[in-house]
Chains A and B, each alone.
Chain A
Amino acid sequence: MDAYIYLFFAYSIIWLGIFGFMWYMNKKANHLEQEMTLLKELIDAKSGGSVDV
Chain B
Amino acid sequence: MKSIIDKAFLIVLLLAFLTSLYLIFNWVPQIKASNSAEQIAQKIFYFHVPSAWLGFLACFIVFVASVVYLWTRKRQFELIAVASAEIGILFITLVLITGPIWAKPVWGIWWTWDARLTSSLILWLIYVAFLMLRRYLPDGSKRANLTAVVGIIGFIDVPIVYYSIRWWETQHPKAVIASSDGSLAAPMFFTFMFTLATFTLLYVYLMKKRYQLLKLEDTLNKQFKEMEIL
Contact = CB atoms under 8 A, between A and B. Distances in A.
Given A13-B98, A32-B220, A7 B41 contact: yes
A52 interface: no
Interface size bracket, A side:
20 to 34
B104 interface: yes
A25 B230 CA distance: 31
Interface stretch (B66-74, B119-127, B128-136, B202-210): B202-210
Contacts of B47: 10-11, 14
Contact of B227 (A14, A21, A43): A43
Given A3-B105, A14-B98, A25-B213, A46 B227 contact: yes
Contacts, number: 74
Interface residues of B, number: 35
B224 A39 contact: yes
B101 A10 contact: yes
Interface string B216-229: 11001001100100
B40 interface: yes
Contacts of A36: 216, 220
B223 A53 contact: yes
Interface of B: 36-41, 43-44, 47-48, 51, 86-87, 90-91, 93-94, 97-98, 101-102, 104-105, 202, 206, 209-210, 213, 216-217, 220, 223-224, 227, 230
